[in-house]
A and B are shown apart, each in its own frame.
Chain A
Amino acid sequence: MRVARHLWLATLLWLLPLVPTAAQTLPSSDACRDCHLALEEESLVAPARAYERDVHAETGFGCLACHGSGGTNQLNPAAGFLAAPERREIPGMCGRCHSDAVFMRQFDPGLRVDQVQEYWTSRHGELLQDSNDPDVATCIDCHPAHEIRPADDPASTVHPSNILSTCGRCHANPARMAAREIGTSQVAEYTGSVHGQLLLEEGDLSAPVCNDCHGNHGAAPPGLASVRNVCGQCHSVMADYFDDSAHGQIFEEADLPGCALCHEHHAIESVDDAALLARSEDVCLTCHEPPDTLGLEFRRIAAVLDTLNRAAEASRAILEEAENVGMEVSQALFELEDVGNAQTRAHSAIHTFQVAPVREQVAAGMEITVRAAERGREALDEHRFRRLGLGASASIILLLIIGLLMKIRELERAEDTS
């Protein structure tokens, strides 16, 4: 298909000079577009149509900015006209502008200019450089030629919400990946992961996606030693705990992949305490085989965490009971939310692989739950007091009413007798 397209293009280019109209000189991008839009071949029409939405078109660049110029005879390849560049030529072609800091400053001073340089360090770049792999991704595979949009445009292929499908176009394609002996389950695994759920279900654009761990233009799998650093970009507290733990040094010496050993690569799950227990049974005991009891430390950690979970649930139940009977406990409920922070800190402390630091964080959370439960019980006591108070005041009012009615009757009788 690619050869057929090139043949069509070559034939067309060859025939174009025979067209006795303004198309012969193509003085402007409009002329390129007008002519392409008038063609019947969809593959030649589509670029002209798509380019209307391209950020370069919006900035004022015409077709010839990329396709070169041949002076008055602009369709002459010998004079510099570049119809369809070879894949190998693409990084250089984009880099003509994008690697030129002085040039780029005129249009987007904040945009980096080292993308091409990074690209050649990427796995994609290496493959293109070393083996001229025809299927390896170049600039236009992620930034579709003729319809390049800024990364913050939700319709852009490199917007965080679209990156998964952009990478997945190749990396989830078994036919493409078979020859490279790369698995294709990453997209599916990521989709089910805690990060994938955040991004895809909750629309949280701050959730990491492919490029946050693998890099953008320098995309490559993180090395074993880098995994901790990659995860530590966001999970810095846990990474620090891990570094200071006994495991930090041992993992480094044994070339173990840090975080990924327990948390997997792409299928990173949200770890609740039940999952922690189950997962630890699998992972910890792999190295800490009985009679080594260190591997069982996680059971004690899980028990400590469970104490806090149960206390928080109990306190919430008391406060909700008070709220349901109409008591004002919103402040206490709000303060109870802080238990979540204590739980997060306790979960972070798991990466010390010791009970004591976890217990310390749990103790802080327990204080909050005790206070909340106290407030809840006070509210319920107050509620009972109100009922009693109502009963007492209603009785007093009733007695007063009875007294008044008796007085009225007495006055009526006095009137009747007079």
Chain B
Amino acid sequence: MTDGTGPGSRARGAIGRFASWLDDRIGLSAIMPVLRKKEVPVHRHSFWYYIGGMALFLFLLQIATGILLLFYYRPSAEGAYESIQFLMAEVEFGWLIRSIHSWGANLMIFMAFVHMFSVMLLKAYRAPREITWITGVGLLFVSMGLGFTGYLLPWNELSFFATRVGTEIPGVVPVVGPFIRDVLRGGEDVSGATLTRFYALHVSVLPALAFMLVALHVLLVQRHGMSVPPSIEAEGGPRRSMKFFPQFLLRDLVGWLAALAMLAAAAAFFPAHLGEKADPFAPAPAGIQPEWYFMFMFQTLRYLPAEIMGIEGELVGVGAFGVVGIVLLFVPFLDKPKGPDAKPGKLWTWLTFGALAYILLFSYLGYTFDPNA
């Protein structure tokens, strides 16, 4: 079979002809030189370059598993819980899809946080990457929105009451707060109308927004390349680099496969919980708490006094988090070296460490908080 006339050679020939046919029509070959040309700097902080790709992989996994869930999910107060119950108990591999979607969402948001903090600490948002940063922060917010809206969809007891607490929070904002709350809920309280709204947001509005932001974010990353941290630049820049294709992409693949294995293990050992069906007339069960990525904010609001300088404490908290969110978007414009040769300041590095410590501490306090103490 070495004369080039065997079945293997014939198959390769057919594939080659098809590739050539396709290339004539869509110009695939034009992409390869770009990919082969792209270089990724190699230095002691290169590890963090993989986190963004990991978040992207998890986002795509969410889309894939989410579409599969849509085949069975019924977005109504009467049918949502039962459809998930059916999916978990009766549908072949339904449990796996839902559990991977649930665990994947958590891992994706975790990776988005890690990516954001690594970018902040490595100051990868510096010019000309300001827009890349803004799209990234936007993606984090959209991911949290996806998490918040998706949490209600199983229509179980915990998600119902957590959503009631969560949607109550914007209600404290003067003038527009109650309007926002009612728009979110589709009425005065969480009901079937809230479920359909959250469903619409979760499967169409937010994914569409996420797609646009991801596309822009990836495009900008391709355009500007990987940022080299200031500390490496101060040392004269990275000593070597690697090809994006295939070296970096293959390493990315290793990480993605490892993440997939982790999610499969989590799904097999800790399948996504369903709990009791939501009963709007039942008393709120003990231990109502938001998803982990909202916990630090939730715990902060718990600690705030009823009034701060004559203003409602909760309003001050919501306002402060709103300001932090806006500041976060504009970090690249706020953290600018003074003068053309000036080195980047340490202020934002310390602020980043402070924010990280705050999130970790308040999340810990949130999970160990005893409301009866």
Contacts and interface: CB of A to CB of B under 8 A. Distances in A.
B270 A326 contact: yes
A387 B268 contact: yes
A328 interface: yes
Interface stretch (B108-116, B159-167, B256-264): B256-264
B4 to A, nearest CB: 25
Contacts of B246: 407, 411
Interface in A370-418: 379, 386-387, 389-390, 393-394, 397-398, 400-401, 404-405, 407-408, 411-412
A1 B289 CA distance: 64
A289 to B, nearest CB: 54
Nearest to A394: B261
Interface string B225-262: 00000000000000000000011001101100110110
Contact of A390 (B88, B251, B265): B265
Contact of B257 (A326, A327, A329, A397): A397
B95 interface: yes
Nearest to A329: B89
Given A386-B268, A407-B250, A408-B247, A328 B257 contact: no
A404 B269 contact: no
A204 to B, nearest CB: 19
A226 interface: no
Interface residues of B, number: 22
Given A401-B257, A404-B254, A328 B85 contact: yes
B254 A328 contact: no
A386 B96 CA distance: 9
B274 interface: yes
A72 interface: no
Interface in B269-303: 269-271, 274
B100 to A, nearest CB: 11
Contacts, number: 57
A233 interface: no
A397 B261 CA distance: 7
A322 to B, nearest CB: 10
A201 B251 CA distance: 66
Interface residues of A, number: 24
A33 B85 CA distance: 66
A328 B271 contact: yes
Contacts of A411: 246-247, 250
Nearest to B276: A330
A394 B260 CA distance: 9
Contacts of B96: 386
Contacts of A404: 250, 253-254, 257
Interface in B77-106: 85, 88-89, 95-96
Contact of A401 (B89, B254, B265): B254
Nearest to A408: B250
Contacts of A408: 247, 250-251, 254
B53 to A, nearest CB: 14
B162 to A, nearest CB: 20
Nearest to A400: B257
A328 to B, nearest CB: 4
Given A400-B257, A404-B253, A411-B247, A390 B85 contact: no
21 contacts: A326-B269, A326-B271, A327-B271, A328-B89, A328-B271, A328-B274, A330-B89, A386-B95, A386-B96, A390-B264, A397-B258, A397-B260, A398-B261, A401-B254, A401-B258, A404-B253, A404-B257, A407-B250, A408-B247, A408-B251, A411-B247
Interface of B: 85, 88-89, 95-96, 246-247, 250-251, 253-254, 257-258, 260-261, 264-265, 268-271, 274
